[in-house]
Amino acid sequence: MDVVDILEKSLEILKAYPLCDSCLGRLFAQMGYALENWERGFSIKTMLHMKLVTLFRQGVDVTTDLKSLARIHKPTRRFLSTIGITVEEAQCYICGGLLSNVERFAKEAVSKVDGIEFETFAVGTTIPREILERESEVVKKFLVSTGESIKHEINRRIGKELLRLLGRRVDKQRPNILIKIDLINGKIDIVKNPLLIEGVYLKLSRRISQAKKFGNVKSSLLEKLQYIRDMYGGVEHIIHVSGREDSDARMLGPGRPLVVEIKQPTKYKGLPHLYSDGDVIFIPLGFTTRDEVRKLKEKAKTDIKLYRALVYSDRPLSEEELRKLAELSGKTVVQYTPRRIKRLNPRKKRTRMVYEIVWRFISSHVFELYVRCQGGLYVKEFIHGDGGRTTPSVAEILNTYLEVLELDVLSIE
């Protein structure tokens, strides 16, 4: 499409609909470069004005075209008034004047983010449905294929003004805050997106749970990580963990991956410090995303874990008998939900692999086990059998009642 085509098509559109500079220019947004839509529309109208006035002075009857242009072009109205023709200014058919100063919403939004320490933002707008319908009507009627949507223009213009006023980066994928502007009622809301901090933790106590306190549990990992919520000024924090160990099991070795989610923070800068109190060690590693949280939880099902267990046998065992445990290496273990948690789903069945099992004889009634297995294996039940709900089990192979005295997670691969 060349300049002549643009002028001819624009005149046809303006004869049918009065459009402001922005709404006319937006129909040709894909043409030209580094121009705002209002600049395109202003230029098109100026060229049309020059062309039509020249034709009129040459004796061509273009009065109707001049009147159509004059509805939304002041210089053309002035020209017509010199020849005794008065034309009333019309409101833009598409936006109704909304785009004349849409940047004003950016100025109002700036006061709303006061007190929030953020680095990135995005803009979202709600536009009156009738405006979108009128734009669609014009685009379809004149088969416009070179434009952009009014919503895109509004978001871009407000975002550009906010960029200038705030001096922060725009991030459409993962912004710290989302500035929501309702152009129907003029309401502006600030959505503070959660902050996700990844790290690893070690649990050195046998009286610390992950989230809930119960029984002889003295504290929880969630409770101890409250300092992170406070640091970022959040209203709540939750944790996402790659698997779970019992409250009486220690988490040793390089630690277990964890993500702390801070809801509605007022600060998005700076990493928390390492936490250590003798019971728990948390090592923050950096900021992460919701996608990585999903991967973390999925990975827990396929992780390979190494456990150490101290086991008591009701009857005395010999080293020779413990050698029978070799047959459990490479076995698939079938487990129904353990009795201690069967209230959740008593008949749920899972299968997990035991890759390797090693033992150390301590005394006739006590031995140590090292179990390398697939994530999700109920290790305690694998050892004592859970009354037959887990098979095969260590107790089944040794034909004795077993009790797990201590359990530690040594590594997660």
- What tens digit of pLDDT does each residue of 271-296 get? 999 999 999 999 999 999 999 999 99
What would the pLDDT profile of 205-225 be if each residue is shown by its tens digit?
999 999 888 888 999 999 999
List residues with catalytic annotation: 246
What pLDDT sits at residue 165?
95
Q: Are residues 324 and 345 in the same domain?
A: yes
Name the pTM for this structure.
0.82
Q: Are residues 381 and 318 in the same domain?
A: yes
CATH at 252: 3.30.70.2510
Q: Which residues of the chain have pLDDT under 50?
A: none
What pLDDT sits at residue 2?
72
CATH at 174: 3.30.2300.10
Whether 184 maps to a domain, the answer reads: yes
- Chosen domain end from 170, 191, 212: 191
Q: Are residues 269 and 231 in the same domain?
A: yes
What pLDDT sits at residue 10?
96
3-state secondary structure the chain: CCHHHHHHHHHHHHHHCCCCHHHHHHCCCCCCCCCCHHHHHHHHHHHHHHHHHHHHHCCCCCHHHHHHHHCCCHHHHHHHHHCCCCCCCCCCCCCCCHHHHCCHHHHHHHHHCCCCECCEEEEEEECCHHHHHHHHHHHHHCCCCCCCCHHHHHHHHHHHHHHHHHCCEECCCCCCEEEEEECCCCEEEEEECCEEEEEEEEECCCCEECCCCCCCCCEEHHHHCHHHHHHHCCCEEEEEECCCCCCCEEEEEEEEEEEEEEECCCECCCCCCCEECCCEEEEEEEECCHHHHHHHHHHCCCCEEEEEEEEEECCCCCHHHHHHHHHHCCEEEEEECCHHHCCCCCCCEEEEEEEEEEEEECCCCEEEEEEEEECCCCHHHHHHHHHHCEECCHHHHHCCCEEEEEEEEEEEC
Q: Are residues 218 and 186 in the same domain?
A: no
Parent domain of 360: 304-412
Q: Are residues 309 and 252 in the same domain?
A: no
Q: Are residues 228 and 289 in the same domain?
A: yes
Q: Are residues 228 and 173 in the same domain?
A: no
Q: Are residues 218 and 273 in the same domain?
A: yes
Whether 96 maps to a domain, the answer reads: no
Whether 94 maps to a domain, the answer reads: no
Binding residues for substrate: 307, 378
What pLDDT sits at residue 307?
98
Q: Are residues 309 and 405 in the same domain?
A: yes
- Chosen domain end from 169, 191, 213: 191
CATH at 365: 3.30.70.3190
Q: Are residues 287 and 374 in the same domain?
A: no
- Chosen domain end from 138, 168, 191: 191
Q: Are residues 388 and 311 in the same domain?
A: yes
Whether 97 maps to a domain, the answer reads: no
Whether 213 maps to a domain, the answer reads: yes
Whether 92 maps to a domain, the answer reads: no
What pLDDT sits at residue 83?
94
Q: Are residues 289 and 201 in the same domain?
A: yes
What pLDDT sits at residue 266?
96
- If one counts the domains in the chain, the total is 4
What pLDDT sits at residue 346?
62
Whether 404 maps to a domain, the answer reads: yes
